[in-house]
Amino acid sequence: MFDGLKDKLDSFRSDVEEEAAEAETETETEAEVGADPDADTDPDAEPPAERGSDEPPVATDPDADPDPGADNADGPGRLRRAKAFATGKVVLEAEDLEDPLWNLEMALLESDVEMGVAEAILDDLRSNLIGETKSQMASTGDLVEDALADALLSVISVGQFDFEERIADAEKPVTIVFTGVNGVGKTTTIAKMARYFDERGYSSVLANGDTYRAGANEQIREHAEALDKRLIAHEQGGDPAAVVYDGVEYAEANGVDVVLGDTAGRLHTSSDLMAQLEKIDRVVDPDLTLFVDEAVAGQDAVERAQQFDDAAEIDGAVLTKADADSQGGAAISVAYVTGKPVLFLGTGQGYDDLAPFDPEELVDDLLGS
């Protein structure tokens, strides 16, 4: 999962190591040359001014930084690097990161990471790496890996909350409504969620609010029968809010813990269907509204998540087909763009193929930790 993105992150780490190693070699060489007592002196150099000279000597501060306008080779960065080297340390400078950061930015965009998210990651890396010192025996790769982990976590974990704790603490029945476009695995995700709750000791009922799509009742009924779940459904063309409301009424009357409400797949531009979601919010007041899309949709999934959140506020997202996604752009970007967390990843076709989303585990996996 996300193998393409893993390779690109590893390339960034290698690029910084190479750049830093070259800079360290140059600094070491300069230090050796500067310390050579047999180094030649320029016989034509002018002697120091004599005491009676008209030009008074200029006092200099040996620790002062050179002229900021001076050539970069003798600028503050080079001086700071030399001072660090003399004390047994090495410092990373902006020039060490310039090319690797450019390559990483292109790699992130190619992996469908949203542009603002990519920029946030790069800014975090600059902040954490430029001017950072390490002992000469330490690994630059470890330093870069730590900075990458911090930068990735800062965008992936936005809005994160403990889903299991939220369900445990909520008054029952808990009503969860699922939204998204057609064909992204929304109904299958609902079936997987029913299995997820079963495994944690919660009963559930399915409510088919997708009343306009031909065959929708049959599709969700097959899942309900396979999972031995009660299905609440109306005739095609019925009121979706009424179906989900009936699901809540059934759950209250029968001591069921969770109501899982399906809705018609829609685009955010479909005013009639978006109005249905608004009506469900008014009539049912669901505890959670989850947006479902495919991880392989990349930036399209990110844009749709933002549009759905704008039109009918979501509480979190589920990304299906994560096992088939080598890029990882949606998983990296959705939370940062919407401010709402990714809560689950669909990792296959079976009912058990639903993994709670853990930002720290994902970052460890991406970095090979």
Query: Which domain covers residue 134, as residue numbers?
Result: 3-31+73-156
What span, in angstroms and rounded, lies between the C-alpha atoms of 188 and 69? 63
**How many separate domains does the chain show?**
2
Residue where one domain finishes, among candidates 123, 156, 189? 156
Mark whether 77 and 171 lie in a shared domain: no
128 and 221 co-located in one domain: no
Q: What is the tens place of the pLDDT at every residue in 324-335?
A: 988 889 999 999
Q: Are residues 163 and 328 in contact, defined by beta-carbon separation less than 8 angstroms?
A: no
Q: By three-state DSSP, how is residue 26 classified?
A: helix
Q: Tokens 């780490």 appear where? A: 13
pTM: 0.80
Q: Which of 140, 156, 172 finishes a domain? A: 156
197 and 252 share one domain: yes
Residue 286 lies in a domain: yes
Which pLDDT does position 108 carry in this prediction? 94
Q: Is residue 263 part of a domain?
A: yes
Q: What is the pLDDT of residue 237?
A: 76
- For 134, the token pair is 């390490």
In 211-269, the DSSP E strands lie at 231-232, 258-263
- Do 169 and 306 reside in the same domain of the chain? yes
- Check whether residue 344 and residue 277 sit in a common domain: yes
CA 284 to chain centre: 32
Residue 194 resides in a domain:
yes
- By the 10 Å C-beta count (0-12 exposed, 13-18 middle, 19+ buried), 348 is classed as middle
What's the farthest any 2 CA atoms get from each other in the chain? Answer: 109
Low-confidence ranges of the chain (pLDDT < 50): 37, 39, 41, 48-53, 57-76, 79, 81-88, 137
Cα torsion 75, 77, 82, 87: sign: positive
The CATH number of whichever domain residue 133 belongs to comes to 1.20.120.140
Domain check: are 277 and 341 in the same one?
A: yes
Same-domain pairing of 251 and 346: yes
298 in the same domain as 340: yes
Judgement on whether residues 170 and 94 belong to the same structural domain of the protein: no
Structural domain contains residue 50: no
Same domain, 171 and 150: no
Q: Tell whether 55 is covered by a domain.
A: no
Does 197 share its domain with 260? yes
Asked whether residue 363 is assigned to any structural domain, the reply reads: no
Asked if residue 249 is part of any domain, the answer here is yes
pLDDT, residue 134, reads 55
Domain CATH for 345: 3.40.50.300
User: Of the candidates 122, 138, 156, which is a domain's last residue?
Assistant: 156
98 lies in the same domain as 168: no
**48 found inside a domain:** no
